[in-house]
Chain A
Amino acid sequence: MIDLPWDFTAIPRFFPGFYAAALLTLQITFFGILVGLVLGLVTGLMRLSKNPLFNTPAKAYIWVIRGTPLLLQLMIIYYGLIDLVSIDRMPAAIIGLGVHNGAYIAEIFRGAIQSVERGQREAALSLGMTESQAMRRIILPQAFKRSVPPLGNQFIIALKDSSLASAIAVRELLLRARQMGSSTLMMLEMLMIVGIYYLMMTTVLNLLMGRIEKRLEVSDYKD
């Protein structure tokens, strides 16, 4: 038998030692998505506006954020802006992830809103509703439903991207693995532990989104 240089029994032994780091990963992801959803909805609506006062900044934001790496964005916020305002690592990571996801979520919402048939708006207006009532009561509910599958996808990307916060010294899963790897000299084992953590979290997230999708199907089938 070949003697492997790894000790896989270390995986269950060290596994619980990553709870705190996993919690940080979840926090960055959760609040980052929250910021991203708010930014995304506002930007998506601005992007659809015919008024250049609204759609130009929205287009510029999406263009810049989607055109540059998240890692760079995080570093600019943390190392770059620190001269201007003293910003902690965690808020920096959350803002960075949020601003980044906001651009993608804006495009998801925009696509979903545009996919709602023109007749829906017309029917709402013909009842005497205002444009904003039609948007709020008729178009957005349908658009939200259609954006659930792509949003689920984006949330999973956000969860995995939260590992980039390790570059600004947030002790989330990946940084914790590297630190533990150096101190125990069991790098692969520690990396595998966080791999399992990520896989567990994305799996739960997937199941969650699937259940939300199911629940939203009500108006398609219920009799």
Chain B
Amino acid sequence: MIKIRGLNKWFGDLHVLKDIDMDVSPKEVVVVIGASGSGKSTLLRCLNFLEFAQKGNIYIDGVEANAKSKNLHTVRADVGMVFQHFNLFPHRTVMGNVIEGLTQVKRISSKEAVEQGEDLLKKVGLSDKADVYPAMLSGGQKQRVAIARALAMKPKIMLFDEPTSALDPELVGEVLQVMKTLALEGMTMMVVSHEMGFAREVGDRVVYMDEGSIIEEGPPSVIYSNPKNERTKAFLGQIL
């Protein structure tokens, strides 16, 4: 579904991604962990072309895309993104947020879009909030709307960039629950998160990154219980 080869990214002199090779298979759930500054968020943002790598190749569903691609926006539509700070559109209602991509990008009639929007809101348990503005929602509700908004485009893969880091602890569960359901339904997912419970339950693979490189990867049971690399051990020792 996603193929990354030799990806390198610099911010000025700072080398943030170093020769990243990675494959994500269809229906696979990959959890990326690592300290802040390890490049994990940048990697995700490169996959949605919000950042452009200077070197290397990214293939989404077999098609290569880069800064020069003409149809970048259609590539992005196939890659759903959920942000740490939700980034809901404050001037649109919950329903307006969910159907924005449908009416503007997919050019579906608004009546049809609203029907799909209702299904999506039901899926994330927010049917009763359709006409509310984002300012009135809790963080957990906002993130669930953001997930519904991304799902509306029927993406081939969903990227989650620390989806629960900005939430109060008691709101984390409701967001993870929606993500688990998605994973069980067979959505291909790449998740930057330190939620170990989530990773163990639905993650197929955990990738540990440090200083722009992939240090170690493997099934959650192995990475969390039996990491081989010293840096992985040290990092897990800090967060667990």
Contacts and interface: CB of A to CB of B under 8 A. Distances in A.
A123 B101 CA distance: 10
Contact of B104 (A117, A122, A137, A141): A137
A133 interface: yes
A142 B149 CA distance: 19
A128 B91 contact: no
Nearest to A125: B76
B121 interface: no
A133 B48 CA distance: 17
Contacts of A218: 133
Contacts of B27: none
A122 B105 contact: no
B90 A219 contact: yes
Given A142-B90, A145-B91, A129 B104 contact: yes
Contacts of B132: 222-223
Contacts of A125: 49-50, 73, 76
A125 B45 CA distance: 12
Interface string A53-89: 0000000000000000000000000000000000000
Contacts of B136: 221-223
B124 interface: no
Nearest to A144: B91
B90 A126 contact: no
Contacts of A126: 48, 50, 76, 79-81, 150
Given A126-B48, A126-B50, A127-B77, A221 B135 contact: yes
A127 B135 contact: no
Interface string A140-169: 011001000000000000000000000000
Size category of the B interface is: 20 to 34
A120 interface: yes
A127 B91 contact: no
A119 B74 contact: no
A206 B145 CA distance: 38
A127 B83 contact: no
B148 to A, nearest CB: 12
A216 to B, nearest CB: 9
B25 interface: no
Contacts of B210: none
Interface string A193-223: 0000000000000000000000000111111
Contact of B135 (A117, A119, A120, A219): A219
Contact of B133 (A122, A127, A142, A222): A222
Interface of A: 117, 119-120, 122-130, 133, 137-138, 141-142, 145, 218-223
